[in-house]
Amino acid sequence: MRDADRLAEIQDRAAKATDGWQTSDTDPGVVNTADGQPIAVFGGSRQDHHDAAFTAHARADMDYLLREVLALRSELAATTGQLQRLDGELVRLRDENRAYERDLAIPGEDAA
């Protein structure tokens, strides 16, 4: 699977997911919808509380990370385009410089 396809699938899943999850005020091992309805119940251990917090923030975190990936890809594409243009300009200037060096060569001298 291409990266672009995978990113599109992730965006689709994130867009379809319920927004506004939060950990319960009374039980940190429970993840609630925005209107307070339990949507996921973890155990009562410290790790379960961490897992619940991760789950509760997953949608918002994914939205943020997807925006960041898209912005970085756009920036990379722009930078790559600039580098390609500069590379072309460098080749042109090297060719031009070689032509000037040939024009300035004194007959009978060895070329360096």
**85's tokens:** 């243009």
What whole-number distance in Å separates Cα of residue 95 and Cα of residue 43? Answer: 70
Q: What is the CA 29 to chain-centroid distance, rounded?
A: 31
Task: Name residue 90's amino acid.
Answer: L
pTM of the predicted model over 0.85: no
Q: Within a 10 A sphere around the Cβ of 31, how many other Cβ atoms?
A: 23
Domain ranges of the chain: 3-104
**Which has the closest alpha carbon to 33: 43, 22, 41, 42?**
22
Instruction: From first to last of the 112 residues of the chain, give the pLDDT tens digit.
Output: 788 899 999 999 988 888 888 888 888 899 998 888 998 999 889 999 999 999 999 999 999 999 999 999 999 999 999 999 999 999 999 999 999 999 998 666 555 5
Q: Say which DSSP state 17 is in.
A: S
